[in-house]
């Protein structure tokens, strides 16, 4: 008798992934400000080192889209820059729900990697220097201004805003082609 063949289903975002998880760094006083959704992404051609970042800020009936590019960079730097530039665009403290497809970015805040890195003198658990320390330090300053929660979404999986910021980040990266 032949056994039926089973194909694994593609991993979907679980309900748990879609729940906002509070960042490990928060303002010292509670934020009563506006609720903002921030969608951020980065893209990089690792061969050429051309990168692009993008973010969408949505609050009330308003929306702002930002983007930029850099040479000699990495995808992770662009992911961090998308979030950083979005937070810097906020003019007053806000409650920010960050929606990202970057586990690196999300887990640094939700799994307390940042706190461990600081405690270890900006060294990883393996005693290597933390990459992108300059951006992490800027993000810490922003996290102390805004109440951040993080929501992870699977990249390239049909999430409208995530797809938009991905397209914008790639378009920004392509501006550097010669």
User: Has 41 been labeled as part of a binding site?
Assistant: yes
In terms of Cβ atoms closer than 10 Å to its own Cβ (0-12, 13-18, 19+), residue 52 is buried
Tens of pLDDT, residues 71-103 = 999 999 999 999 999 999 999 999 999 999 999
Reply yes or no on whether the pLDDT at 26 is more than 60. Answer: yes
User: What pLDDT sits at residue 11?
Assistant: 45
For the sheet containing 147-152, what is the strand order?
Answer: 21-22, 147-152, 95-100, 35-45, 50-59, 62-70
**Mean confidence (pLDDT) of the chain:** 88
Over residues 132-145, the mean pLDDT reads 96
Of 32, 25, 21, the C-alpha closest to 92 is 32
| Angle, CA of 164, 165 and 171, to the nearest 5° | 95
User: Has 45 been labeled as part of a binding site?
Assistant: no
Residues 138, 6: Cα–Cα separation, whole Å? 47
- The catalytic site residues sit at 41-42, 79, 101, 156, 166
User: Has 111 been labeled as part of a binding site?
Assistant: no
Q: Which domains, from first to last, does the chain contain? A: 19-174 (3.30.420.10)
Residues 52, 50: Cα–Cα separation, whole Å? 7
Tens of pLDDT, residues 145-158 = 999 999 999 888 87
Assign 3-state DSSP to the chain and report helix, strand, coil percentages, each to 5.
35, 25, 40
User: Has 160 been labeled as part of a binding site?
Assistant: no
Run of H or E residues at 163: helix 160-174
Contact 83, 56 (CB under 8 A): no
């Amino acid at each position: 008798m032949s056994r039926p063949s089973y194909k694994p289903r593609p991993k979907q975002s679980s309900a748990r992934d879609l729940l906002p998880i509070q960042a490990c760094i928060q303002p010292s006083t509670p934020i009563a400000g506006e609720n903002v959704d921030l969608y951020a992404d980065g893209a990089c051609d690792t061969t050429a080192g051309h990168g692009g970042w993008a973010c969408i800020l949505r609050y009330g009936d308003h929306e702002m889209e930002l983007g930029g590019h850099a040479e000699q960079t990495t995808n992770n730097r662009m992911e961090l820059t998308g979030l950083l530039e979005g937070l810097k665009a906020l003019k007053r403290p806000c409650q920010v729900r960050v929606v990202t497809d970057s586990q690196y970015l999300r887990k640094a805040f939700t799994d307390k990697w940042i706190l461990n890195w600081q405690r270890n003198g900006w060294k990883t658990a393996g005693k290597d220097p933390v990459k992108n320390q300059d951006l992490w330090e800027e993000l810490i300053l922003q996290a102390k201004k805004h109440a951040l929660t993080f929501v992870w979404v699977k990249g390239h999986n049909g999430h409208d805003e995530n797809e938009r910021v991905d397209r914008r980040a790639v378009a920004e990266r392509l501006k550097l082609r010669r």
